[in-house]
Structure 1
Amino acid sequence: MKIVFLQSSSTSYSFLDYNESEVDSSIPSNCSLYLFGRALITRNVELINSLYDLETIFVPKKLNFISSIIKSTTDIPVEEIDENTYSKLIKSELRVPNKFENVEKNNFGNSSNNVQQNALITNNNLLFLPCNTVIGKRSTRKSIEYYKFQYPWEFLDIIQELLKNEVTFSIISNKASIAKTAIIEGPCIIEDNVVIDDFAKIKGPSYIGNGSFVGMGSLIRNSMIDYNTNIGFNCEIGKTYFAGNAKISHHNVILDSIIGKNVWFGGYSGTANVLLTRKNVQYRINNELIDTGRNHFGAVVSNNSAIGASVIILPGRKIPPDSIIPAGTIFSK
């Protein structure tokens, strides 16, 4: 089996705006987001390889940053193809009926019906894989479980689905330090060098990545927290994704949100996740308001941002990368 990565809508903008040092391309992307401590692209390749013994991975030159991610984690040959070759493959192969007609499809939100974005197509030993796809661990050779996303709230939905399906019992590293008074309720994955302080509660399914810290009296529920994230004293983190290396101070409430790398939250700050009207939350992309279809959605806080003390971020807002939000701000832009 060979993989051909497809360009997709998720490469048109990034949730968290990875900078050029992280994505070597003029096209921003969400492909570098981590799931369970591994890059999304790495996870997909590893799972498909376990089923089909991959021979080659074809990557369009426009998505050349994918090549470096794959090469750093696997020995499978990666071949970058020019626009001509890519177009010929698409035209000649994607018209053929899908071999995986009974594949389990998991689509969230307002996805396009474009075949290149909403189907895994295989023919002549080629598997066409959209970039905005997450492969599930319940996949088999006959039925690939997959999820597609375009918007941040769809990605959060996928996180919840993965936690529910893949964290079915607790795996706690013997290198983690968990206080005797801490409570682990429900299935959780707790990686190496994690410290859970006194009277903290981790409610599963949840994932806490390598080197993270959960402070005294804090509650973590149904969240994916990646590496070196520090959650301070008496915080509540619910249904939230942390990309890693965040520092969250005391008495913060962060709900239904996506938090980028290297983000700092001062004390008594948080993300509101419900409108007073109880209507669906709207989210702005390129000056256009988009209905998320959800009445619970918090915020997207992009990489390298600093949020001052006593800041409230209203539902459906995005903090741009490298932002500094002054103490006491009600962020409503």
Structure 2
Amino acid sequence: MVMYTINDLYDLDQTIAAGIFENKTYPWEVLADIGDYIIKLGNSLDENEYEKKGENIWIAKSASVAPTAFINGPCIIGKEAEVRHCAFIRGNAIVGEGAVVGNSTELKNVILFNKVQVPHYNYVGDSILGFKAHMGAGSITSNVKSDKKPVVIKSADGAVETGRKKVGAFLGDNVEVGCGSVLNPGTVIGRHSNVYPLSSVRGVVPADSIFKKQDDIVTKK
């Protein structure tokens, strides 16, 4: 088991936010920069493709946003994205091209790569979800420890201190998270892995794995 880097987890060609990852090793290193990066990037977007609505909110003209959704800036909604009824975007959020943010889903300080789906009653905070990652109904990222101490990313190979009290989860490309699962603070899931429904996940899950429970993680055949 390894401590996954940005390049291990993500195809940076599948996000408008590739620049934020420059000179960084681990994905949690960008969390503090998301808001400022959105403002800088938003002001550079093509006005023929994006419309600025409200303070520091840019929405692609090809995106579909329900009138009942609430969007607070800074925020960028990408091309062909869908933001559904009663979605709540609290700010510091990049929603990738073709992504889906569903009914009663809440986002805060996140980067969703292209084609991500968080379609039903999800909470995603202080997290980064890779290309085509999908979170089943009711699954959430828990981003604060019960003792309120800074989050440490732990794997069998060691631990890395993030220095942040709020750290959610980092899902690699094509990760599938089952319904009703909780991804505990500092969870990292490698590319192409699956998480069983109703799981409580913590630490680092290897790529190409099936997470059945914390002590039962098997390699995909």
With the shorter chain as reference, the TM-score category is 0.7 to 0.9
Structure 1 210/235 Cα, relative in aligned 2: closer, same or farther at 3 Å?
same
Give the deviation of 1:13 after TM superposition: 5.5
Picking from 155, 158, 161, the partner of 2:33 is 158
Structure 1 159/30 Cα, relative in aligned 2: closer, same or farther at 3 Å?
farther
After superposition, residues 164-183 of structure 1 pair within 5 angstroms as 164-167=39-42
Aligned residue number for residue 119 of structure 1: none
Give the deviation of 1:150 after TM superposition: 2.1
Structure 1 212/190 Cα, relative in aligned 2: closer, same or farther at 3 Å?
same
Picking from 192, 206, 211, the partner of 1:322 is 192
Q: Quick one: which amino acid aligns to residue 15 of structure 1? A: I
Q: Quick one: which amino acid aligns to residue 158 of structure 1? A: D
- Quote the Cα distance in structure 1 between the aligned partners of 2:103 and 2:97: 18
- Quote the Cα distance in structure 2 between the aligned partners of 1:286 and 1:158: 29
- Aligned-CA RMSD value: 2.8
Give the deviation of 1:34 after TM superposition: 2.8
Assess if the C-alpha contact under 8 Å between 2:102 and 2:121 holds in 1: yes
Give the deviation of 1:35 after TM superposition: 3.1
1:271 lines up with 2:141 in the alignment: yes
- Quote the Cα distance in structure 1 between the aligned partners of 2:44 and 2:143: 29
Structure 1 272/237 Cα, relative in aligned 2: closer, same or farther at 3 Å?
same
Assess if the C-alpha contact under 8 Å between 2:87 and 2:104 holds in 1: yes
- Quote the Cα distance in structure 2 between the aligned partners of 1:13 and 1:308: 21
Q: Quick one: which amino acid aligns to residue 314 of structure 1? A: N
Assess if the C-alpha contact under 8 Å between 1:230 and 1:248 holds in 2: yes
Partner SS state of residue 38, structure 2:
helix
Give the deviation of 1:151 after TM superposition: 1.9
Structure 1 278/324 Cα, relative in aligned 2: closer, same or farther at 3 Å?
same
- Quote the Cα distance in structure 2 between the aligned partners of 1:218 and 1:173: 26
- Quote the Cα distance in structure 2 between the aligned partners of 1:172 and 1:259: 27
- Quote the Cα distance in structure 2 between the aligned partners of 1:331 and 1:309: 13
Give the deviation of 1:192 after TM superposition: 3.4
Structure 1 235/31 Cα, relative in aligned 2: closer, same or farther at 3 Å?
closer
Kindly indicate which of the two structures has a greater share of residues assigned to strand: 2
Give the deviation of 1:332 after TM superposition: 2.0
Q: Structure 1, unaligned stretches of length 5 or more?
A: 1-11, 19-28, 44-131, 134-147, 177-183
Give the deviation of 1:159 after TM superposition: 2.3
Assess if the C-alpha contact under 8 Å between 1:301 and 1:321 holds in 2: yes
Picking from 25, 30, 34, the partner of 2:15 is 34
Assess if the C-alpha contact under 8 Å between 2:94 and 2:111 holds in 1: yes
Aligned residue number for residue 218 of structure 1: 87
Partner SS state of residue 318, structure 1:
strand
Give the deviation of 1:326 after TM superposition: 1.2
Pick the structure with greater CA Rg. 1
* Residue-by-residue CA offset, 1:157-196 (whole Å, 9 max, x unaligned): 23222124444699876788xxxxxxx6522111131000
Give the deviation of 1:287 after TM superposition: 1.7
- Quote the Cα distance in structure 2 between the aligned partners of 1:312 and 1:156: 20
Identity of aligned pairs, percent? 23
Q: Structure 2, unaligned stretches of length 5 or more?
A: 204-221
Assess if the C-alpha contact under 8 Å between 1:186 and 1:204 holds in 2: yes
- Quote the Cα distance in structure 2 between the aligned partners of 1:15 and 1:156: 13
* Residue-by-residue CA offset, 1:249-305 (whole Å, 9 max, x unaligned): 211100000100111111111100000100000113672111100001101011111
TM-score w.r.t. structure 2 length?
A: 0.79
- Quote the Cα distance in structure 2 between the aligned partners of 1:201 and 1:172: 22
Assess if the C-alpha contact under 8 Å between 2:50 and 2:58 holds in 1: no
Aligned residue number for residue 251 of structure 1: 121
- The one of the two structures with greater contact order (alpha-carbon pairs below 8 A, sep at least 6) is 2
